[in-house]
Amino acid sequence: MKQMKWNELPHAGTVLKAGNANEYKTGSWRTYKPRWIEENCIQCLFCWIYCPDSAVTTKDEKMNGFDYDHCKGCGVCAMECPGKKGNKAIVMEEEGK
């Protein structure tokens, strides 16, 4: 994220670029990291609809991974993941291990 100089700031408290918070990476907040195990995934998309950080990515109506730049590692996706035959498709693993 590039720091703005005072004369580059938009006037009157307006923000003109929609969704530019995306440039700010919250991935460094994480202590635990979600890992996707594709063979256990039934594509229910619960992880996607429940993610508070819009950090579950989709392509062609299917979950296809995580946006680790913004995932804060809360673990809601892993908690709500029904998995297949009792095996979760998302597991939380400690960062840096």
Which of 35, 38, 42, 58 is close enough to bind other proteins by CB under 8 A?
Answer: 58
Residue 91 DSSP class: E
Q: Say how many C-beta atoms besides its own lie within 10 A of residue 49's C-beta.
A: 10
Interaction between residue 17 and other proteins (CB under 8 A) = yes
Q: Does 6 bind other proteins (CB under 8 A)?
A: no
In sequence order, what are the beta bridge partners of 35? 91
The token duo for 63 is: 């979950």
Rule CB under 8 A: choose which of 7, 13, 28, 96 binds other proteins.
13
75 binds other proteins, rule: CB under 8 A: yes
Q: State yes or no: residue 2 binds other proteins (CB under 8 A).
A: no
Nearest to 34 by CA among 86, 97, 80, 93: 93
Size of residue set near other proteins by CB under 8 A: 43
